[in-house]
Amino acid sequence: MKTRVMAAILSLVVTLVLLFGGYFAYQWWALKKPIEAMLTHEPHFQLVELRIEPDRVWIKANTDPAFSFTNQFPYLNKRVKNMVGERAVTIQLVDKPDPVLNRAWNRMVFGIEEGLVNARYSQIPKSVDTVAKSMQIRYDITMDDQFLYVELHRGPHTLYRVLPLHKSNSGVKDNG
């Protein structure tokens, strides 16, 4: 009887080691290493942290002043999503805002959100341009089928924002 219990426990331990070892090996060789390899070759982009969870891939990165957020970020996001399949992807870029950029963002966010909620997308660049000119900052805006990408620059300082296009995901809620 004792040998059967020991055999059962041993087979359970071996099975668990194989299952979990295989899972972690898969994450390492099939996901983490290819993503790291792709991101390390991305110009003006420095990987800080990469976490792979069962339902999400989380990336934290620094950028240098030559990084074009509105051009490179959507492309980078799509490439990572193609590599990870059904997992959600979160890419957090460490921006370097100063008080002027934060004030500018706080002034322009209402016009941006109003344009998103009312689907008046042509109003968004006008709203951003008005604030950017008055505060002497450079900006770039682009949009794809899901998100609006806003990039603000003032000297060495940057501020990046990604906003969902669809009202259900927006930060502004309709109370009516």
Confirm if 118 and 169 have CB atoms less than 8 A apart. no
Residue 64: count other Cβ atoms within 10 Å of its Cβ.
11
Q: What is the pTM of this model?
A: 0.77
pLDDT exceeding 90 applies to what percent of the chain? 66
More confident residue, 167 or 108: 108
Predicted pLDDT of residue 20: 87
Q: Confidence class of residue 171 from pLDDT cuts 50, 70 and 90?
A: low
The average pLDDT across 131-145 equals 94
Distance in angstroms (rounded) separating the CA atoms of residues 174 and 176: 6
- Alpha helix segments (H runs only) across the chain: 2-26, 33-40, 69-84, 99-117, 123-135
- Whether residue 172 has pLDDT greater than 80: no
Confirm if 69 and 149 have CB atoms less than 8 A apart. yes
- 40, burial (CB in 10 Å: exposed 0-12, middle 13-18, buried 19+): exposed
pLDDT exceeding 70 applies to what percent of the chain? 94
2-94 adopts what CATH topology? GMP Synthetase; Chain A, domain 3 (3.30.300)
- Whether residue 109 has pLDDT greater than 80: yes
Q: Is the dihedral of CA 58, 64, 65, 71 positive or negative?
A: negative
Confirm if 47 and 39 have CB atoms less than 8 A apart. yes
Predicted pLDDT of residue 112: 95
